[in-house]
Amino acid sequence: MHPIELLALDLDGTLVIPEHQISSKTRSCLTQLTREGIELVIATGRRYRTTRYVIENLGFPVHAVCNGGALIKHRDQSTLQQTCIATEKLTQIGGLARANGHALVAQRDSHAKGGADFVVDSGVQWNQPTRFYFENNRNFSAGSNYLDQENADEFLALGMFGEHDPLRAFCQQVGRSFQGQFHTTVVPFNTLQTWYCEITQAHVTKWSGLEFLADMLQVTIPDAICAVGDEMNDLAMVRHAGVGVAMGNGNPDLQKEADWICGNHDEDGLLMVADYIREHNDKLR
């Protein structure tokens, strides 16, 4: 056994409550945990801008694994690593999305490069959630027929909004067409009361991002890492971390893979994780 040195937390359904907020009890608990020497890391599918909203509400800087592992940010907001999708693959997935009536949303690191956080394919009609998402983030979004562009190799992760079953069917098509080159998952997007399909390169996960940070921070992999999440895009880190925890409100399939299950995210369930880390580390002193 090894002491826990790093705590990785998903955001939506795990750490945050509505409006990018963190409950006062959870915030105080995590602040104290870091004072006790535990490295806190955010591991999320979110883009960096909305991740920063949460970090600001947390009250202290932390490293962040964003876009499902494709973008890794230092606590000083500099970019440590980014893994972009090749233009050829972007074009192929975009064409497949268009053929199924989906508007692809491509995420990028605007914090480092300037410009939009994400670009929505303008070559297909947008459904209502896509249009709302675009307009609601108007200062950070752009529409472009980027399938006709060359060298569009700045995109980190892809996605689309829609109904659950059509998105699941699209995931299956991606699997057949790309033979394991991409990982897809459909997660609830509660803000818009819809579903979101995440598409990332198969070798890029929240866990691969955590491995990068752990190596930089000289944290023992995987024994010294505790990872907590609620959805199947957290599977890699929950499965591979020394201690993998699923939220009480989490996806039942993720809960089956976890070492144990804590409380619900909106009932300060992470306090149970903090107590576990302290008890675990005290036993090893």
Show pLDDT as tens, one digit a residue, over the chain (285 residues): 899 999 999 999 999 999 999 999 999 999 999 999 999 999 999 999 999 999 999 999 999 999 999 999 999 999 999 999 999 999 899 999 999 999 999 999 999 889 999 999 999 999 999 999 999 999 999 998 866 666 578 899 999 999 999 999 999 999 999 999 999 999 999 888 999 999 999 999 999 999 999 999 999 999 999 999 999 999 999 999 999 999 999 999 999 999 999 999 999 999 999 999 999 999 998
C-alpha torsion sign, points 177, 45, 14, 219 = positive
Closest CA to 94 of 104, 85, 84, 106: 104
Distances (CA, A) of 34 to 6, 28, 177: 9, 10, 44
Phi-psi region of 203 (alpha: psi -120 to 50; beta: other; left: phi over 0): alpha
Number of H helices, E strands in the chain: 10, 14
Looking at residue 148, what is its pLDDT?
A: 60
For residues 200 and 69, is the Cβ–Cβ distance under 8 A? yes
Which residues is 246 bridged to in the sheet? 229, 261
Give the pair of three-digit tokens for residue 45: 């599918």
Kindly state the DSSP code that residue 234 receives in the 8-state scheme.
G
| Other Cβ atoms closer than 10 A to 221 | 16
Looking at residue 190, what is its pLDDT?
A: 84
